[in-house]
Amino acid sequence: MVVFVRGTVPAREFALHHTLQTVPDAEFEIERIVSSSERSVMPLSWVRGGEHEATATALEEDPSVEDATLLADFDDEWFYRMEWVDRVELILRMVTSANATILDAYGGNERWMLRVMYPDRDSLSAMDEFCTDHGLTFDIESVRQLDGEPAGRFGLTGEQYEALTTAAQRGFFQVPRETTLQELAEELGVSHQALSERIRRGMDALVDDTLLIKPPP
- Residues 6+ positions from 27 with CB-CB distance below 8 Å: 47, 48, 49, 106, 107, 108, 214
Domains and CATH numbers, the chain: 3-145 (no CATH), 150-210 (1.10.10)
Q: What is the pTM of this model?
A: 0.75
34, with CB counted inside 10 A (0-12, 13-18, 19+), is exposed
* 39-96 pLDDT, tens digit each: 889 999 999 998 999 999 999 999 999 999 999 999 899 999 999 999 999 988 887 7
Percent of the chain with pLDDT over 70: 93
